[in-house]
Chain A
Amino acid sequence: MNSDVKTIFSSYHNNAQLFDEVFDSNGVAKNVYQKLLDLYGNHSIQEYVQLNNKAKASFFNQGITFQVYDNKVTQEKIFPFDLFPRIIDEDEWEIIEKGAIQRSKALNLFLWDIYHDKKIIKDGIVPLDLITSSANYLHQMIGVDPPGGIYNHISGTDIIKHSDGNYYVLEDNIRCPSGVSYVICNRTALKRALFGVFNHYKTHSVTNYAENLLEILESVKPKGVDVPNCVVLTPGMYNSAFYEHSYLAKAMGVELVEGRDLFVENDFVYMKTIRGPIKVDVIYRRVDDLFMDPLEFKPESALGVPGLFAAYRKGNVCLANAPGTGVADDKAIYTYMPQIIKYYLDETPILNNVHTYHCSRPDELKYVLEHIHELVIKPVDEAGGYGISIGNRLTKDEIKVVQEEIKQNPRKYIAQPIMSLSVHPTYIDDSESFEQRHVDLRTFTLLGHEKEFVLKGGLSRVALKRGNLIVNSSQGGGSKDTWVLKK
């Protein structure tokens, strides 16, 4: 290597306080990354910038964008993509994969129970209030048997690697988890930009997601159907994930439909086509529960299909994920995951939960009040990051305010230790160099009738602002291609 040329990692600042996935505290690259660093090290930063710009352009050209609603102006943006991939070796991946399947299965059994006998509540393990107070709990699902016995066909589990080197689950997304199309696009973009690097690693493919999704959907076909007709139901082109809906439909080779393309007759669902109606058996729906059927749920919904829920209750069509599944991806339910796994599977959790203190329990409340500076305080009933206090960012006065709020209404709050996410070298436009940035991982798990699948890869989301722990795309996060290595 010519030492006069500024190579891409020459000014990388390795903060030993942070858990860097690539370099150890002495700045030595971990084994699995060594080859990659050699390969990337051959490039100057200028060459890298050019490649990076090309990759960006290819996202725009393919229309892989999402909508940002800001100042009443809708903007098309690409999800910032980083060309330096994240590598997960086979041993670590095995833990993640087994852990993700364990959680999906436990959640599925939990959902069956909640909508049937509610044994876990009667046995005093999960409080009744937690279920009945959830906006995603649907009384209409009580006693309904979803085809194949599956509720959460598609789960997106958000995982972080902590500074202790272990993986922790942050949340289970089992309503309409999105992001899988980015996983596939990131791989494509990286292959286009730097095909050669793939020759040196045995990386699992991610393009088999769609065929597995189709198999999962077909496995939960309604009774009496031989070859099921599956479709993807989208809210339409103005939805922020429309690209993903169209991608998945195309990759599975099935129709992409909107509510107005479907109708219900005698409790069967049909798709309007120029050759007349065609019966639909399985719907991968990316429309929220309450917008699915204006006759059963929100009457003002223009996205749904009148009579769809009646067809579902009759068992004539399968909806993936099942209506009412969201009751199990509640923040408060998350805290019971270890007990839920134990209760239904009689196993210990393979992936850790972040330890949670319930302020409703007096001894835990005492601990929380005394340790606010090292905890994250979250209200149990709000979503989207509202009302969260991060203890080490608060002034003394602010801590007092939070203490008072918790004392006033302990039932409303939970607290968790501040988790230190691992960091990964990420190219930063402003400084034209690689810097450490926090990263998480969304995995995609599929559950069908006697079939399960975890995508070997995932969406590694990067917080592009320095020190930021929030990686959501709406918060200006980016993403990386994520390689899972073969044995």
Chain B
Amino acid sequence: MSALSSKHLLGIKDISKKDIQLIFKTAENFKEVINRPIKKVPSLRDITIANIFFENSTRTKISFELAEKRLSADIVNFNSGTSSVNKGETLIDTVNNILAMKVDMVVMRHPAPGAAKFLSKHIDANIINAGDGTHEHPTQALLDAYTLTEKLGNLSRKNILIVGDIIHSRVALSNIHCLQKLGANVRVCGPPNLIPNHIESLGVEVSYDLKESLNWCDAANLLRIQLERQDDKYFPSLREYSLQYGINQEILNQLDKDIIIMHPGPINRGVEITSQVADSYNSVILNQVENGVAIRMAILYLLSSN
């Protein structure tokens, strides 16, 4: 294990199992760093990072900012809502202008799938994809898988279930790639019209039976219904979705075993997950958030020297 195979982190699809293991090993060290009295190391003190967010974000943005600050990088934040994008500037022009101010790395979230890859072909800086439309969200997948390895050990042959709005979810696609590279069995479960056609071709199982799937899995990752991406009505009401695919304590009590409950956030309490489950012993939602900073520190650290 020596260095990442790529200069950018555009998606999990493009990186290898070795890369994932190197990121996890490095994240372990950073997890120790963020639990010290002084949670800051000077590694990236000569690096400037631009966080460019064309879409709303709370967790990912704060997590990236904290990771960058704890590595001593200088940062500039850019939100499309308050920028010249509203005046008609193109993506490349916007980013090139930021880079002209001597920025070394770009963390970008964009509503268009492939935006990060497009950018990586046109500009000379390390690009980290913080979510591109319904395509990929690699850092989320890495922190999810890292959290799972902390709880389950080696993920080889472990059964991981992803529940909910698969078709609109970049988290689902990145998770599928990441978990499969680590040897896990992945199954998706949700209403038929929220599961993409031909998803089986990725090597995942499909089920519409939530209870049977929960009994099958070691961990379940619950996804939010992405109303902002749904230009059509996919189900009659959130209440009906919740009755069919929401997870509550009663369902979990009926299972033969304890399973780990994950959620990438933001949680819609009472829709895909009840408060009781979200705050329960089985839930690792806040561990995911803590690990998110360590994973992002590892990625920034490894990419910056590539």
Q: Do A and B bind each other?
A: no
